[in-house]
Amino acid sequence: MLEMLRGKRMLFVGDSLNRGQYVSLVCLLHRAIPESSKSMETFDSLTVFRAKDYNATIEFYWAPFLAESNSDDAVVHRVTDRIVRGTAIEKHAKFWKGADVVVFNTYLWWMTGQKMKILQNSFEDQNKDIKEMETEDAYGMVLNAVAKWVENNMDPKSSRAFFVTMSPTHTQSKDWGDKSDGNCYNQTNPIKDLSYWGPGTSKGLMRVIGEVFSASKVPVGVVNITQLSEYRKDAHTQIYKKQWNPLTPEQIANPKSYADCTHWCLPGLQDTWNELLYAKLFFP
């Protein structure tokens, strides 16, 4: 893969699940590179891994909605009232220009359970003109803007664009027929039911992804990781992750209460996502 990426810039754009896939890929590749020939640096929203002997970079850019939003700070982005600035992607997209391979994702941040707040003017304006939209409509609007950007900025002869579908969560064990009031904590086996589709995964948004990218004038490869990941209730980071805030005694007494059932352990499932991406990228 490094040989195939020689002289190229590969860029992941999206949220923390896309960052997980990015880290997975860097972990899969970096062992083939001597210490002195690789580096990793972060500049605000952009993280860059360099394979110097290959003159290649693999990068991650934080943009959880792809469009401009009030959650764009790469460190401080936990806002309860999420606002997306319509189809405005230029603030982010100027960092995407010139990439040979771009891998987009966006999903988790749209799942608020409410309508999406769409800003019609700019975040700098004193009087913000905000309208509410159904999530599917707003999601389609942003994906269409991304597809248009790909059409205008990527040459299908020399560059490739991909979109990774939504990553499932496993927050309630009753969803898969376990009545113990648990979640992903202490799960050690996948779900065996091949038709399983969790209630947290929106078929409506999945349909929007298919509609937008099948109509794109420049091909955008859809990397469908959703169904295969639905089974993996056992693959989340659970309690084995960096805690940004100290745990309370109540949490320590009840690990289930702070188990992360959204993100994934590495090595793990996201390595498989990258094998699928690799196959689509080099053997289309």
Tell me which H or E stretch contains 162: strand 160-164
| Phi/psi at 275 (5° precision) | -65, -40
46 DSSP β-pair partners = 43, 61
Cβ–Cβ under 8 Å, residues 1 and 278: yes
pLDDT of residue 17: 98
Q: Which domains does the chain have, with CATH numbers?
A: 2-76+90-112+136-282 (3.40.50.1110)
pLDDT, tens digit (0-9, with 9 covering 90-100), for 109-143: 999 999 999 999 889 888 889 999 999 999 999 99
Dihedral in degrees, nearest 10, Cα atoms 180, 184, 186, 188:
110
pLDDT of residue 24: 98
Closest by Cα among 176, 164, 181 to 269: 164
Q: Find the catalytic residue in 16, 202, 216, 257.
A: 16
Cα dihedral sign, 152-156-157-159: positive
Residues 6+ apart with CB under 8 A from 277: 21, 25, 103, 162, 164, 223
pLDDT of residue 76: 81
d(C-alpha 171, C-alpha 160), whole Å: 35
Quote the strand ranges of the chain, DSSP E: 9-14, 38-43, 46-51, 56-62, 83-84, 101-104, 116-119, 130-133, 160-164, 220-223, 236-238, 260-264
Q: For the chain (length 284 residues), average pLDDT per consecutive 10?
A: 97 98 97 96 96 98 97 86 94 97 97 94 88 97 98 96 98 96 97 96 97 97 98 98 92 96 98 98 90
Q: Is 263 a catalytic residue?
A: yes
Cβ–Cβ under 8 Å, residues 46 and 22: no
- 7 alpha carbon, distance to own chain's centre: 25
pLDDT of residue 16: 96
Cβ–Cβ under 8 Å, residues 273 and 223: yes
pLDDT of residue 125: 87
- What SS3 string covers 208-253? HHHHHHHCCCCCEEEECCHHHHHCCCCCEEECCCCCCCCCCHHHHH
The region that residue 197 occupies, defined by phi over 0 for left and psi between -120 and 50 for alpha, beta otherwise, is: beta
Tokens representing residue 26 in the block:
């860097």
d(C-alpha 19, C-alpha 151), whole Å: 24
Q: Find the catalytic residue in 44, 214, 263, 271.
A: 263
pLDDT of residue 74: 87
pLDDT of residue 244: 86
User: Structure pTM?
Assistant: 0.96
